[in-house]
Amino acid sequence: MLEDRKFIESLLSLALRSPHAADYGRRQFLRSVGRLALGAGVLTNLSRVFGNPYALAAEPATLPEVTSIPERLKGKGVVRVSSYGGAFQEAQRKAYFEPFERLSGIKVIESEGPDVVKVKAMVDTKNVEWDVAEFDLADVINLKSKGDYWEEIDYSLVDTGNIDEAFTHKYALDMLPYGQVCAYRTDAFKGAKPDGWADFWDTNKFPGGRTMPAGSGGLVPDLESATMATGVPMEKVYPIDIDKAYASLAKIKPAVVKWWEAGAIPAQLLNDKEVTMGIAWNGRIAAIQAKGAPVEVSWRQGALRTDCWAVPKGAPNRENAMKFTAFITMPVPQARLSLLIPYGFVNNKAVDYLPADRLSVLPTAPEIKKQLYVYNSEWWAANRDKVISRWASWLLQ
């Protein structure tokens, strides 16, 4: 029992830096709460808080078929892949794993729960259990700063001609972009539509409560929006002036109803009319829109964030891991996943396989992507501790 409680406490402080890591943590959390027998009411409330962004996503009748792959991606043996489980990994299985296994001749062995702490332990003990796993890029960068823990990506296998340079890194390849954006209730402002962070900060023109990510619970405050609200253009956001960003946050602070630590919270607050505007992950908003909530996304000046694939140093099936990573970033596999869940694609040719109604909700659709800035994981890897160290005291001011 004590062990379970400690596990729950550790999950509450888990670095939930992407929707997919957050959802994995939510499921582990709820399983442990269930073992503690805290009662159906508690479980219901916790499920409401942590949510499931993919439960509402209707699967399309058909997915574009992957009919062939380059000879260089074929092989034999296995590749051991670790992702975040649940409906998200089910979507990856349909989009990526099954067609790769069928066409390459390489068997995919799945597991759940990617963790850079585990990667460090595996590499240090020379007992590497994963060949490739999904991470937040900042985690890959942080671990690289501690030593030689990652294999370089073999870009001779990758369709780099159709993948923007911003998505490619020496030790990781981005694979699933998502937007951290402004979402608002369409019935709140008499037809007026917020357009950028200056409007988010303008509580006279756009009245009502706000919700924004916290600087706790493994998250970081949205200093980028605070910076742009002062008039800084999005192409000049980095390097962030931390002092000025916190000063800008202080101006919107009285309107913030909730500093959220779980991705389902802003969507729920918007759905329940507890706020009129919030910063949220686009997939969460798509989920409540699918149920008819009068909520829209204002894309301009939003962040384009991504998860990435990375290969631990000494992966026993390194060559197959590189083939797998190259395959899933091909156009059709990328389009298949974007049809199954409301997140974007890194291969620009994926747009050819996506209908217009789906593109309208994806952060990497051409007309949307140009309104976003690319989240700078390198800056956050270097400055995260400095930003977080100020959060608790600033919140009490």
In the chain, what are the domains?
Answer: 2-50 (no CATH), 71-177+306-357 (3.40.190.10), 178-304+377-396 (3.40.190.10)
**pLDDT tens per residue, range 278-321:** 999 998 999 899 999 999 999 999 999 999 999 999 999 999 99
3-state helix, strand, coil split of the chain in percent (to 5) is: 45, 15, 35
Cα distance between residue 326 and residue 47, in whole Å: 36
pLDDT of residue 210: 98
List the chain residues with pLDDT less than 70.
Answer: 1-61
pLDDT of residue 85: 85
H or E stretch at 41:
helix 40-50
Q: What is the mean pLDDT of the chain?
A: 88
Tokens at 244, concatenated = 């000025």
**Euclidean distance between the first and the last CA atom of the chain, given in angstroms as a whole number:** 38
pLDDT of residue 131: 98
